[in-house]
Structure 1
Amino acid sequence: MVEPNTPVVVAARRTPIAVKGGALADLTAADLATAAIRACLDDTTAGTEVGDVVLGNCMGPGGNIARVAALAAGLDVAVPGMTIDRQCGSGLAAIITAAEAIRAGDDRLRIAGGVESCSTAPTRIAGGVPYARAPFAPPGHPDPDMVRAAQDLAAKDAISRERQDAYAARSHRRAVHTREIGGFDAELVAIRGANEDTGPRARIPDMLARFPALFPDAEDGGTLTAGNSCRDSDGAAAVALVPAAHRGDAPGLALIATATVGCDPALPGLGPVPAVEHLLAKTDTTTADLAAIEIVEAFAAQALAALTRLGLADDDPRVCADGGALALGHPWGASAAVSVVRLFSRLVRAGAPAGTRGLATAAVGGGLGVAALFEVVR
């Protein structure tokens, strides 16, 4: 039995995810977020007064995208909006931030999630020179690009090309199957004619061996490829949260506990490990207690390194059971929120009994991990 002020996800929706320059390329981050917010509000019956809209975003135009999207979604001008940046963990960080207000006693509904429009992300300039990203760490600390960091992690852990490709192939097969049987339909909100994810491809498993190494100069000969890495993508995801005492008869996911922990910035892909370990320890939970696990699959090597350290098998059927970011794509600020939407579908929409638990986690540039433990309530 959860406490009355426990935050509960009672609605969870997302836009389709499309590769950068693809089906959603002409939509701004605010456009994408507006669609997800509106769909969550339409699905929600457990309260009508909205206290805030909190969204994660990494590389957008600046300003307060959450406020812009909240107004565009038709919310009252009194609803403020807040946009936060925790890089690839931003979407889950936004959900955690919104949940903290509810746990502290504010009983108004909150919308939270994340959004990224890689296609419309602005070019950034410092000293007259364009740059791809801001630093993840200050001078004197390692500050690798996430792609190079994933290759370094693959070499450190001796994760073979074959193992990475096999994991990526599974992600595509699972996602293609789920898309074909309509397993994503209930969580998707169509936008500008796009009504399905464009990333999962049935032919990819047969093509993976043909992709060239991204870093042939690496000490292991280079095992990271475009095929076993995610693709930069556009998309948005949002959830509606209310205190358990106000959810009425609506089933949902109670947010039991969270953890955000730093790690070596040279190996940011390992961030989920200390975050999940801390979370499980403080809730007296083990991985055996989890029915569903969603990890943001930025790279096969990164996901495998984290899963292995957590004692999970490469092909554990509980991990990204319908495919993850390797197949669907990685809209940076949204992906960790997509993980929560996926848990909602896998557990609440699928009819899992009360008390069933699920985990969402993501690695973050600069050396961070964020994790959240959810439990079905009915």
Structure 2
Amino acid sequence: MSEAVYLVSARRSAVVPRGGAFSGLDVDALAAPVLVSVLDSAGLPAARVDEIIVGNGLHGGGNPARRAALLAGLGEETPALTIDRQCCSGLDAIVLGARLIESGAADCILAGGAESYSRAPQRHAVDRDGAVSPQPYTRPPFTPWPERDPDMASAAAALAFEAGIDEARQAAWAVESHAKALRAEQMRRFFDELVDVPGGARDSYMRRLTPATCRRSRVLATKSGVPIRAATAAVSADAAAFVCLVSARLLRDLERERVCRFVAAASAGCDPGLPGLAPVVAGRKLAARSGIALNALCVSEVMEAYAAQAIACVEGLGLDPLAVNRSGGALARGHPIGASGAILAVRLFHELCREDEGRLGLAAIASAGGLGTAVLLQSARA
């Protein structure tokens, strides 16, 4: 019988567009204060942490999780692991941490993601024959077939065309995402989740967006007359987000009133040419495993890399649109790749902690190459 897993605290930095207030922070410096805050909120000493797992997609090598752990003062004896499944990385780190606890291999894991678009290294590809000097590139290939490895904006345009999601629907989704985020900030709904990282303590991108502004923004890609515009795509950003996962036996030693139980998770692949649909495949797999109907969920946090992709996922999973991204999504914040999935989990934790015991919520995200991850949490009392 597997060990029950609980999220006892969840914190994130603000999400700041690339080149903004966090541009001077390396990824470990961005992550460290969030790690300190999430552990402090859990009421646990650093010595109780069995492992730190960090999702990251742009650092370019090494093990930024170890650097962040040491900078956070978590002790030289604490192991740290960095994983990369691009946009899914932060949520996958949480799933991996939960699996370790379920197996009995750990009692306390700090897991999440950290990303600095601003400090991403320059990358160059080396010609195998040495006949051409190293060539710069902005992203690695995600499939072995160039013709099935589209730019993400082009993939979103193809998805919008195939799903019949026109420009007006995309704009309406983006406008509402910003409006919900602004309302949530005014109501201080982010107060308990945000950590004051040097440079910024609030999400700085959300604004009073209008359909007219969306129509004036530049076209990033188009498919058969259906465009993807800059205003309906999440901007590149810097951020960090982490949760503290504990076993049921450790939870008994903590003075916590509200927590979330880790119920189930699933990862899945789909057509690499339409990667935005991967959360639909993962979510359906999750529903089949758990026996829980997704249309009955209290709240869902669905990644908004593009408005068209978010709409397609919500419709494909049969989610209640009114229960999705109730305090705004990535279109109103930004997309810090390796941290984005962890931000969804942090948001879901805090949304569920405001609900009655036993309510269920979903976090779902897609990744380049046609991969998706979905996680189911349940509000609970310690």
The residue type paired with residue 319 of structure 1 is V
In the alignment, structure 1 residue 17 sits paired with structure 2 residue 15: yes
The residue type paired with residue 366 of structure 1 is G
Say if 2:112 and 2:242, in contact at 8 Å, map to a contact too: yes
Number of the residue aligned with 2:64: 65
Partners of 1:215 and 1:44 lie apart in 2 by: 44
Partners of 1:61 and 1:299 lie apart in 2 by: 25
Please give the root-mean-square deviation of Cα atoms over the aligned residues, in Å.
1.5
Number of the residue aligned with 2:245: 241
Number of the residue aligned with 1:201: 207
Q: Give the Å deviation of 1:8.
A: 0.7
Pairs within 5 Å for 1:23-34: 23-34=21-32
Say if 1:244 and 1:254, in contact at 8 Å, map to a contact too: no
Pairs within 5 Å for 1:188-267: 188-215=194-221, 218-219=223-224, 221-248=225-252, 249-250=255-256, 251-267=258-274
- Per-residue CA deviation, residues 27-60 of structure 1 (Å, 9 max, x unaligned), is 1111111111111111112575110000000011
Number of the residue aligned with 2:296: 289
Aligned pair count reads 370
Q: Which stretch of the first structure deviates more once superposed, 171-180 or 245-254?
A: 245-254
Partners of 1:299 and 1:243 lie apart in 2 by: 36
Say if 2:364 and 2:373, in contact at 8 Å, map to a contact too: yes
Number of the residue aligned with 1:87: 86
Say if 2:2 and 2:103, in contact at 8 Å, map to a contact too: no
In the alignment, structure 1 residue 345 sits paired with structure 2 residue 350: yes
Say if 2:295 and 2:318, in contact at 8 Å, map to a contact too: no
- Per-residue CA deviation, residues 104-127 of structure 1 (Å, 9 max, x unaligned), is 003431100001100000110012
The residue type paired with residue 141 of structure 2 is P
With structure 2 as the length reference, what TM-score do the two structures score?
Answer: 0.94
* Fraction of identical pairs, as percent: 40
In the alignment, structure 1 residue 326 sits paired with structure 2 residue 331: yes
Q: Give the Å deviation of 1:222.
A: 3.7
- Per-residue CA deviation, residues 60-83 of structure 1 (Å, 9 max, x unaligned), is 142111111001101111101000
In the alignment, structure 1 residue 42 sits paired with structure 2 residue 40: yes
- Per-residue CA deviation, residues 183-241 of structure 1 (Å, 9 max, x unaligned), is 1111000111411000111245551121232235x31x242100001000000000001
Structure 1 residue runs of 5 or longer lacking an equivalent are: none
Partners of 1:183 and 1:67 lie apart in 2 by: 32
SS in 2 for 1:153: helix
